A and B are shown apart, each in its own frame.
Chain A
Amino acid sequence: MRTIHFADANGRDSHVSFVTVRAPAPPLRVAAGKLVAMRRFVVAGEDNTHEALAVGHGSDYGKALIEGDPEVDLELVGRPITTTSMVYLDGDGEVLRFAPEIFEAIYGPDGAEKERRPPQDKPPNIDEEIPLRFTKNRLKRAAAVRRFAFLRSIQLWHTDGLTYDFLHGLAKSLDEADELVLLGGGESGRDPIVFQTNGLPWRGFLEGRVDGVKYQLLLRLSNLELKKSDA
């Protein structure tokens, strides 16, 4: 079970458990009384792709399709794919035998490449010595809904009486204020939240609800604002 280290507005910190809040599973798919599942399978051999056939047959490609089934490799087609290993193909389409050089490319909203640089790994920051901290950014719930698309929610979970008191108290104060508070990471206390190395960077807003002794303390995660695209 993973834990998150965070501190409230008064600098009181705690390591608490968390789980992802999930939508109910989609309905089971069946056919003739048997469960079915989506799987990947082979539809063409290496010599039967559109590109390979176009090169192989040249101007006779259309005729070849009419007269036969050059796009079908009977030995391969329909074969389910289980586990595979990822390989790189070089500019000539051949399997790369040496480790490639890796770059990080930045593309603008218009799809044009803006910058190319050596890759930078992003370490996680949710359970480090420096806790995630409350920022001064607070939003009413309704304002947050109008401004951000919350794509993921995680629920903070107490592990003992002390963490229960801590989390219940925070949930109560946020619920009474009808507010979400932005948490920030890193030394500055303003970095986005990263759950694992090279994980998605999220803006995380803490939301609380209470029902008597029961509570919910939820970290609402967003990396998308509700705005029009300029592209």
Chain B
Amino acid sequence: MRYVILDAAESREELYLIRKAHMPKGIVVTHNSKVSSFQIEKVERAKIYGVRRRLAVDQKGRTCARAALTDDGQVLLRAGMTAQGWFDTDGRQVDQKDIAAEDENGKPLELIPSTLGVEQRLEGPIAATEVLDLSLTAVYRIAPEQLDESLSKSLADGQFWRFPFNYRPDYRSETGYLVQNADGIFALVGVPAPAEFLEPQAPPPLGDDDDANDLDFEMM
């Protein structure tokens, strides 16, 4: 459908306007009341360094697919046979629209809308230590569509700026930081997770069960 619309454009200008209207919404921030906007592109390790995978091959040299067998051996689950859904404690499936969220004290939480395409005020400059304390969930390389001159200079000088970021509506807002280097401007997105300061008499840490999360799934 999109290509039909693009083919129908009668001028370059019209083509540009159609393309812009169909582009995904990006990051829009204000700095000293001046607006800057960026298109976003996720930075993925595989697209920079490539990827290494373990492949299983059958006796005829053909790559094997993976499937799952239920523990009772009754159902072979091939690709496309499963989905994810919400289930309550009684095992009943729940519609997405019926789900709400609450904090650890049982207080209901408001759904925070997506920030894409919506002006967010920049705060900063921010110390590097604060950016280091971010538990990253995504990294975007962002291409300026409109860039305020003073923000451009600040980023080029190596300063960092904070802004609220939610890719999609959620009950928790994430935090984004603008960072620039020779390869462009990047948005580092995640949840602040500062570590605790340890005193001489600090009790031993609680057990860490993170080992399983460190497996290189490319190698599985």
Show the binding face of A for B, using Cβ within 8 Å.
1-2, 17-24, 26-32, 34-46, 49-51, 76, 78-91, 93, 95-96, 98, 100-109, 114, 116, 119, 122, 140-142, 144-147, 149-151, 153, 155, 157-159, 161, 164, 168, 195-196, 198-201, 207, 209, 211, 213-216, 218, 220, 223-231
Chain A residue at smallest Cβ distance from B203: A157
Tally of chain B residues near chain A (CB < 8 A): 96
Contact between A215 and B52, CB atoms less than 8 A apart:
no
Q: In the complex, what residues of B have CB within 8 A of residue A109's CB? A: 46-50
Show the binding face of B for A, using Cβ within 8 Å.
43-60, 62-71, 75-78, 80-91, 93-94, 98-104, 109, 128-129, 131-132, 134-136, 139, 141, 158, 160, 171-172, 179-181, 183-184, 186, 188, 190-193, 195-200, 202, 204-208, 210-211, 214-216, 219
Q: Using known A-B contacts A34-B90, A229-B43, determine if residue A29 contacts B100 with beta carbons closer than 8 Å.
A: yes
Contact between B48 and A229, CB atoms less than 8 A apart:
yes
* B40, chain A: closest CB distance, angstroms: 13
Contact between A19 and B128, CB atoms less than 8 A apart:
no
- Residue of B54, B60, B80, B204 near A157 (CB, 8 A) is B204
- Residue of A43, A151, A198 near B136 (CB, 8 A) is A151
- Please report the C-alpha to C-alpha distance between residue A199 and residue B76 in the assembled complex, in whole angstroms: 29
- Please report the C-alpha to C-alpha distance between residue A46 and residue B74 in the assembled complex, in whole angstroms: 11
- Please report the C-alpha to C-alpha distance between residue A223 and residue B136 in the assembled complex, in whole angstroms: 12
Q: Using known A-B contacts A84-B68, A151-B136, determine if residue A216 contacts B78 with beta carbons closer than 8 Å.
A: no
Q: In the complex, what residues of B have CB within 8 A of residue A218's CB? A: 132, 195
